[in-house]
Chains A and B, each alone.
Chain A
Amino acid sequence: MSRGRPALPPGAWISVVVLASLLLMALLAPWIAPHDPLAQDLANKLQGPSADHLLGTDRFGRDVLSRLMWGGRNAFGGVAICIAVAVLLGVPWGTIAGFWPRYVGTVLMRISDVMIAFPLLVLAIAITGSLGVGLVTSMVAVGLVLAPNTAQLTRAGVLATREQDFVASARLSGVWTPILLVRHVLPTALRPVVIQMTIYTGLTFVIQGALAFLGLGPQRPTPSWGSDLNDAYSQILSAPLLILPPGLLLGVVVLCVYRIGDALRDRMSSNLSPDNRKENDVVVA
């Protein structure tokens, strides 16, 4: 009997295809977008779908589809920045705290406790305000806010792994500590972190949209799903359907990311013993 990993369910495959398509559309936007996302046509504003504008036009007569395609570049790019900051800061933070838990770890975890005590979005807005408004700054701010959670999860994984026999034998055989961490501890300890990152990815799409909606993301007229949703919302009494394209798109992307995260968790959990599975349960921040 083979003890292979379970196949990805159809829902996860569909999510992968949808996300990959959206990512591809965003990357190829300069070549495949039907219109310039900034080109205004004030005489044809708030138009419904037509052959020329498949998703209609916004309050400035700009093509909604083209703006969504271009906005994807900011959305995916911003999420990548955020996750990179959370991982690059949170993983070393948690690794040090988990491997040397007594004094250094205690101090590092108290710092993370303090940061986690603040509501996520409020802290992100405060940091964005101090760094300056923009896509990169707002996403760095969210990454900074997610880093303590990442650190705590990493620490839990490292604490459990450092007691394993294979780590003890590597240590006794004189493996240099950084090598020990990178080659022996982290590959096992980071499994829950990988799953958590998929959840953070979905969460970051939502937060990014929220920050842009509040005017803290890419500045107008740069295409952005959040600010386009805000523009559409401001016209809700005149053109109520305009909120659907950016709103639905954000919803679909988040659902797809979470679906993939679920599948990833199932797949990784199948390789763990029941005890480890419990230790590696992921907690949504």
Chain B
Amino acid sequence: MQQRPHRHGFRAAALTAALVSALAACGSGSDGAGGGTTLRTLQGLKPSQFDPCGPANGSETAYLAAIYAPLIRTDPGTGKLSPGIATEWKFSDGQKTLTLKLRTGLKFQDDTPLDAAAVKKSIEQCLALQNQQIPGLKSIEVQGADTLVFQLAAPSGGLPDMLGSRIGMIASPTAREKEGDKYGAKPAGAGPFRLAGFVPGASVTLEKWAGYQQAGLPAAKVDRITSQMISDPSAQVAALTGGQVDFAWRLDYSAPKALQGTDVRAQHNLGVSMSNLSIDRSQGPLRDKRVRQAISYAIDRSALAKANTSGLSDVGAQQPFPPGNAFHFNELDGAYPYDPAKAKQLLAEAGHPNGLTLRGVALNSPSFINNGVVISDQLAKVGIKVRFEAKDIGDATKGFYAEHKYDIMSSGMNSGPDWLSIHRRLLSTKSSGNAGNVPIPGGEEAIARANAAQGDQELQAALKNAHQVLQEELPAILLYYSPTVTAWTGRVTGGTASIALNGEADLTALGLK
């Protein structure tokens, strides 16, 4: 009778040892449940679906770029175009016809053949979802299995760059047809990884796709990538320093300082993501350009950037692309220096010598809310009263764009690397970012000029002109370029190369030692 406790003790010890071994195996990272190498990652944002043509919130981009082979590849680090599914492309008919030559013998992850007909169908499905568009597209023609021709109503020199963006991530038309609304959770591309698991708000698992054939992306260097969604700054740092993850991106701005003196390498870059104020020019005092310009003069962008990026950046934004980018023009940086006196003068000229009150809304995320807090204080100094209500993205955009309940919205945008999409968003009358679809003097002309540009020099001049129109008319007030924070442990290879221009991680560049 007295030996029983001992027997229980032995069993408990054996059970504990087994559990500890199992947990240790789970935590080791190099040998996941399915065997092979597992790269454990985390990111601070939460993707909701994996269809490049579905509703985008930006946090899914890194996974999309690993799941889908691109029609034309945009180099994540430089923004330069290189072959993807298409090996070559050329314009004819005054940039109104774009012909692409495709690789042959490719397949999607659901075994559907990837040929010109499949690409055409996939792009048409994408356009039908109405989240993406190709401006001026007349038709897409298939010439044999390996040639695709885009016919356009007007010159569109930006189309190859656009095809190197989301709309060029080619999804299996069969899978999209079969899954319907659920396609976003069951994607099938032709990239080196396939989606193996997705728990909304918690985790994503990608597995190496054995059937991948060269289509612009490097082959998978690990067998599996697991990704946890952790937004809490201290939990992010703890996961990295505690060895729970090997690589992390979109980290909190406080992470670099907290990771100093640890074995984890952290890097922050000025990406092409930007904070901005969207303006409703269809009603209220902001119809007057002088009021918009007064706001732009009243904002101390450098102080704002420094305050809301934990000191990682003090670079204010007055044009869509950051310093160092091929489409950044240094001479345009001084358009709106911090000048409260000039702001007051413009307000007085616009008939508001005693100031005015605006209705503001902020997208419900800490950075946009905090931008609103600082800006409301800075604008108060020139007599503009505004308080930004925090609203979830659906309510905020509905209230701002559809119901015109607000004059100004604290939000952000991703400027690249596709220049055509960003300039259309900022300057075109029909843009979804143009509240009330009020024409912007010179806006459409600036886009047309850029689209008709022949060669880099003409394109540079056209985009500089577009930025000048943006600065003069201020359909949106740009604030600062949002830095992106990436970190990785010593086990990871390709950390630096994985940092994309848009702040996302190029997961295909990552491996393990």
Contact = CB atoms under 8 A, between A and B. Distances in A.
Contacts, number: 55
B373 A215 contact: no
A231 to B, nearest CB: 9
B254 A220 contact: no
A162 interface: no
A62 to B, nearest CB: 9
Interface in A204-236: 215, 219-221, 234-236
A60 B374 contact: yes
Name B's interface SS: helix
Nearest to A133: B390
B258 interface: yes
Interface string A11-38: 0000000000000000000000000001
Contacts of B390: 133, 215, 219-220
A40 B374 contact: yes
Contacts of A42: 303, 306-307, 374
B257 interface: yes
Interface residues of B, number: 25
A59 B376 contact: no
A236 B310 contact: no
B389 A237 contact: no
A60 B307 contact: yes
Contact of B234 (A59, A221, A236): A236
A39 B377 CA distance: 7
B255 A45 contact: no
B373 A221 contact: yes
A59 B254 contact: no
Contact of B373 (A133, A220, A235, A237): A220
Contact of A219 (B234, B370, B374, B387): B387
Given A42-B307, A60-B307, A133-B390, A235 B374 contact: no
Contacts of B377: 38-40, 60, 221
B448 to A, nearest CB: 42
Interface in B1-21: none
Interface size class of A (residues with CB under 8 A): 10 to 19
A238 interface: yes
Contact of B369 (A39, A43, A220, A236): A220
B450 interface: no
Interface in B238-270: 252, 254-255, 257-258
A35 B79 CA distance: 49
B52 interface: no
B279 interface: no
B376 A221 contact: yes
A215 B254 contact: no
B372 interface: yes
B303 A237 contact: no
Contacts of A40: 373-374, 377
B371 to A, nearest CB: 11
Interface in B330-377: 364, 366, 369-370, 372-374, 376-377
Interface string B423-437: 000000000000000
Nearest to A40: B377
Nearest to A238: B254
Contacts of A59: 307, 370
A237 B307 contact: no
A235 B307 CA distance: 12
Contacts of B234: 236-237
A148 B307 CA distance: 46
B237 interface: yes
A236 B233 contact: yes
8 contacts: A38-B377, A42-B306, A43-B303, A60-B374, A215-B390, A221-B376, A236-B233, A237-B254
**Which 4 A-B residue pairings sit nearest by Cβ, starting from the closest?**
A237-B258, A237-B254, A40-B377, A42-B307
Interface of A: 38-40, 42-43, 45, 59-60, 133, 215, 219-221, 234-238
Interface of B: 233-234, 237, 252, 254-255, 257-258, 303, 306-307, 310, 364, 366, 369-370, 372-374, 376-377, 387-390
